[in-house]
Amino acid sequence: MLKTLLIASALMLTSFANMAKPIASDENNVMPLLNGHQIPAVTLQDVDGTSVDLATLVAQKPTIFFFYRGGWCPFCNSQMGQLKAIEPKLIEMGFQLVGISPDTPEKMRASLTDQKLDYLLLSDSSLTASQAFGLAYYTSANITQKYTASVVTNELFTTPQGEKRLVLPVPAVYLADTKGLIHFQYVNPNYKVRPAPELILAAAGLLAK
């Protein structure tokens, strides 16, 4: 009886973890997936508009997913360059590198060209993956106005209070095995702080063992 209850509880936790989470009121109140959770079954688009299922993708080889705010963000571009530098070592360890952001496929294609990237970029313009990973949040009215007046053309979302706001993902890095199990995650509400490449390599090295 106890064993049955434990199995049922585990199934409920897994199911809850894979449910789309509500958009957080701000970046400090997101509820991200943690170590031990499964990568959600979400379908996104690559730069050519081709559908890519995350569950199918991660089954091919261990995967490093990184969520970024968009190609307009200088901190994101810096991180993308750092990941490009360590990509050969990650490939040698058997990993694939996948970037996810609210950018449209067209904007992502521009990022690939400008930065000469080889790794896969996936468009999450509907914020489906960002919500499933528990990373999506409403920006403030001031930030929404500032960003949409200058660099961001993303679709706005309606808050529970009826206000139109820009929704972004908190930048994050996830390492998952071929069964979709998360072994490492780094989520920081401060978008200016990203994990050091050495930390990602160390986490990848441990998972590879």
Q: Give the whole-angstrom CA distance, residue 60 versus residue 138.
A: 33
Token output for 16: 């809850």
User: What is the crossing angle of helices 105-115 and 74-92, to 10°?
Assistant: 70
Identify whether 76 is a catalytic site residue: yes
Q: Give the whole-angstrom CA distance, residue 156 versus residue 189.
A: 20
- Name the active-site residue from 17, 33, 44, 76: 76
Q: CA triplet 203, 98, 126: central angle to 5 degrees?
A: 125
**Residues near 208 by Cβ (< 8 Å), separated by ≥ 6?**
62, 93, 94, 95
The catalytic site residues sit at 76
